[in-house]
């Protein structure tokens, strides 16, 4: 099995880099760490970056996971080959662009681009945003799945994730005690389905609710509380039409041996126990 240590970054294509930087700094509340003509690196914690927007193909996206040992990349290459998946080692230039020591690229069975990275750069300076959204960390991301049985098997049996809970065919997967760092949601698309940043408290969720309305940012779900992770949340759209989520209070699963994944019915109340209705295709019945 390929051991995933943590989520690392997302690379998200966009049409207009300046527009995405403005959204990410002034609305989402990330810090711009570095920008070139085509790439912008933004963060919500002390990592070198959590999101890299890349001007060009707006449909391009990739998600990255950190592995703890360099040898894990060779092991991964072999294990993926046994699954019929061809992986490619990153060149020095590709590593430099990603600010990592080493990396391996492949696509999961759904065609989602995945990067395994060794030693993603950290910084010695704390995160300093222009807008205080209360972000504490890069929380998790959603990935599309066209065949949940196939993809849950891949992510749990090949990639070492564990199912924390299921909603309909969708699954919330953990790679450490945090309830989930990957959300697999059924759709006909591929790639990143939503991007989550954790915020410090319900006050930050509610402050952003007012702030986002004032800035005419489309809110697509919430405020509400997930019965699965127990986190309070709000979802909204970026100018790239991607779904962004703030949430606070995600549950940790500490009794690994005794955790039994729960199956939630595919109904709005499985997404929000307060009664908010999602206006997002993948979350609807």
Residue 153 corresponds to which tokens in the numbers above? 């098997």
SS (H, E, C) 5-63: CEEEEEEEEECCHHHHHHHHHHHHCCEEEEECCCEEEEECCCECCCEEEEECCCCCEEE
Contacting Fe ion within 161-180 (CB under 5 A): none
Q: Does 228 bind Fe ion (CB under 5 A)?
A: no
Residue 183 beta carbon to Fe ion: minimum distance, rounded to whole angstroms: 5
CA distance 245 to 31: 17
Q: How far is the CB of 157 from ligand LTTKRYJ7 (least distance, A)?
A: 22
Q: Which stretch binds ligand LTTKRYJ7 (CB under 6 A): 7-15, 27-35, 144-152, 224-232?
A: 224-232
C-alpha dihedral sign at 167, 220, 110, 177:
negative
183 belongs to the binding site for ligand LTTKRYJ7 (CB under 6 A) = yes
Least CB distance to Fe ion at residue 271 (A):
10
Q: Using CA atoms of 94, 71, 63, 193 in order, give the dihedral in degrees to the nearest 10.
A: 160
Binding partner at 283 among ligand LTTKRYJ7, Fe ion, none, C-beta below 5 to 8 Å by kind: ligand LTTKRYJ7
Residue 196 within binding range of Fe ion, rule CB under 5 A: yes
229 binds ligand LTTKRYJ7 (CB under 6 A): yes
Distance between CA atoms of 182 and 192, rounded to whole angstroms?
10
Residues that bind ligand LTTKRYJ7 (CB under 6 A): 142, 172, 183, 185, 194, 196, 226, 228-229, 231, 245, 247, 250, 271, 283
């Amino acid at each position: 099995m390929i051991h995933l240590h943590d989520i690392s970054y997302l690379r998200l294509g966009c049409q207009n880099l300046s527009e995405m930087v403005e959204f990410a700094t002034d609305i989402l509340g990330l810090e711009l760490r570095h920008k070139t003509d085509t790439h912008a690196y933004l963060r919500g914690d002390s990592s070198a970056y959590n999101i890299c927007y890349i001007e060009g193909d707006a449909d391009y996206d990739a998600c990255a996971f950190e592995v703890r040992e360099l040898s894990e990349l060779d092991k991964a290459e072999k294990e993926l080959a046994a699954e019929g998946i061809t992986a490619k080692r990153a060149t020095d230039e590709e590593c430099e662009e990603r600010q990592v020591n080493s990396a391996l690229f492949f696509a999961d069975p759904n065609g989602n681009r995945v990067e395994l990275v060794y030693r993603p750069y950290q910084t010695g300076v704390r995160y300093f945003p222009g807008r205080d959204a209360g972000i504490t960390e890069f929380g998790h991301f959603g990935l599309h799945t066209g065949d949940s049985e196939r993809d849950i098997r891949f992510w749990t049996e090949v990639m070492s994730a564990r199912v924390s809970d299921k909603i309909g065919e969708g699954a919330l997967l953990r790679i450490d005690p945090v309830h989930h760092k990957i959300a697999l949601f059924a759709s006909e698309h591929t790639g990143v389905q939503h991007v989550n940043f954790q915020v410090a408290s319900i006050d930050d969720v509610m402050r952003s609710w007012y702030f986002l309305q004032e800035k005419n940012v489309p809110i697509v779900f919430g405020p509400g509380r997930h019965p699965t992770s127990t986190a309070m949340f709000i979802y909204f759209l970026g100018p790239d039409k991607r779904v962004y989520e703030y949430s606070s209070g995600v549950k940790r699963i500490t009794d690994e041996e005794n955790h039994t994944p729960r199956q939630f019915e595919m109904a709005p109340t499985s997404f929000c126990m307060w009664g908010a209705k999602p206006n997002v295709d993948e979350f609807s019945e």
